[in-house]
Amino acid sequence: MNSRATQINAEILSNKRVGSYNHMVFAVDGLAAHGKPGNFVAISVGGPTSSMILRRAFAIYRATMRSDGIGLLELVVAPMGSGSKWLASQQPGDLVDLIAPLGTAFRIPKDPVNALLIGGGYGSAPLFALAETLKQRGCRVDMVLGASTAGKIYAPLEGKRSVNSLTITTDDGSAGTTGRVSDVLPELIKEHEVDVIYSCGPMAMLEAITKISQSFGVVHQCSVEESMACGIGVCMTCVLPVEGDDGLIRMTRTCIDGPVMDGNKVLWTHSREIPDGVWGK
């Protein structure tokens, strides 16, 4: 478990609707100093009398410290299920029980590289702060944002401002290029001489990106979207088969050994199953 993780009652400072999503800002004191791109937060939803006993995991959009010492944690929430709908309905001034920062962060190269960031829907949330960090290291940063339709592309204008180039894809052709992010990926890798891919989004998208990154010999760091019940490594519901550096395949907990993983090490085709060759099987 992330050694910096802390449980607090965080006050909601802002809750604004942005397209299909809610952009929420929480006051989290010094906790914000430890939040990095790729980390996530686990939030208790539903209130004290709710039957929703499991926390909900949300990727950290941005964590910053203001000049007055106030720490801010920003989330992008897609109000789809009962838990996320409850969170999105909360108002400024309300208190929310959260644990953060949790999980692993994206690894930042020591030297400048050509990086390609790929986000699917609200999965693009952690990539904006990552783009800023990479630019500070002198990296070239290009971005691809994809979704089923234009309304589900999060903050395209912010994406355009924070990177060297922005490519948008939509399944229905309502914005950008018609198709999926994987359709434009090979040409972008060649055009920008990409060294590393960072991605976050649906598991099928991550699998497709991995196949392409392997064919080009490109490093692929991805933040997986596996269902998490506890978020702290206890329940074992979020495991994926992952090949270790020693060549052994282990059922790996994505909440504490992830969510950021080496995409080329994940056995994507065996999701939800224990494949032959797993250590101990």
CATH number of the domain that residue 31 is part of: 2.40.30.10
pLDDT in the model for residue 281: 58
10 Å Cβ neighbour count for 239? 19
Residue 227 structure tokens: 């269902």
Same domain, 55 and 91: yes
Residue 148 structure tokens: 């089923």
Instruction: Give the chain's mean pLDDT.
Output: 93
pLDDT at 255 over 90: yes
pLDDT in the model for residue 62: 95
Same domain, 118 and 206: yes
Q: What is the pLDDT of residues 142-156, one digit of tens each?
A: 999 999 999 999 888
Same domain, 146 and 194: yes
pLDDT at 105 over 80: yes
pLDDT band at 69 (very low <50, low <70, confident <90, very high): confident
In 3D, which of 269, 251, 145, 131 has the Cα closest to residue 211? 269
Helix axis angle for 203-216 and 181-192, nearest 10°, is: 30
Give dist(CA 82, CA 52) in Å, integer. 9
CATH number at residue 197: 3.40.50.80
pLDDT in the model for residue 276: 76
Give the 3-state DSSP-derived string for 178-203, with helices as H, strands as E and coil as C: ECCHHHHHHHHHHHHCCCEEEEECCH
Instruction: Tell how far CA 100 is from the center of its chain.
Output: 14
Q: Judge whether 114 lies within some domain.
A: yes
Same domain, 59 and 136: no
pLDDT in the model for residue 227: 84
Same domain, 122 and 193: yes
Same domain, 71 and 150: no
pLDDT at 275 over 90: no
Q: What is the pLDDT of residues 106-150, one digit of tens each?
A: 999 999 999 999 999 888 999 999 999 999 999 999 999 999 999
In 3D, which of 89, 90, 129, 91 has the Cα closest to residue 108? 129
Q: Judge whether 1 lies within some domain.
A: no
pLDDT in the model for residue 186: 98
pLDDT band at 271 (very low <50, low <70, confident <90, very high): low
pLDDT at 56 over 70: yes
Same domain, 202 and 185: yes
157 vs 222, more confident: 222
Lowest mean pLDDT segment, chosen from 39-43, 50-54, 93-97, 113-117: 50-54
Same domain, 113 and 39: no
Of 225, 242, 262, the residue that ends a domain is 225
Residue 6 structure tokens: 């802390």
Instruction: Tell how far CA 146 is from the center of its chain.
Output: 14
Q: From residue 274, how far is each of 239, 240, 268 by CA, in Å? A: 10, 8, 11
Q: Judge whether 206 lies within some domain.
A: yes
Same domain, 122 and 188: yes
Same domain, 52 and 68: yes
0.85 surpassed by pTM: yes
Q: Sheet with 196-200: list strands edge to edge.
A: 177-178, 165-170, 140-147, 114-120, 196-200, 219-223, 260-262
Q: What is the pLDDT of residues 26-36, one digit of tens each?
A: 999 999 999 99
Give dist(CA 63, CA 164) in Å, integer. 23
pLDDT in the model for residue 274: 77
Strand 239-243 versus strand 249-253 pairing type = antiparallel
pLDDT band at 236 (very low <50, low <70, confident <90, very high): confident
pLDDT at 272 over 70: no
* DSSP state for residue 45 in the 8-state scheme: -
pLDDT in the model for residue 213: 97
pLDDT band at 280 (very low <50, low <70, confident <90, very high): low
> Do the beta carbons of residue 56 and residue 42 sit within 8 Å?
yes
Same domain, 164 and 263: no
Same domain, 193 and 149: yes
Q: For residue 209, what are the domain limits?
A: 106-225
Total structural domains in the chain?
3
Give dist(CA 200, CA 38) in Å, integer. 9
**In the chain, pLDDT over 90 holds for what percent of residues?**
78
pLDDT band at 82 (very low <50, low <70, confident <90, very high): very high
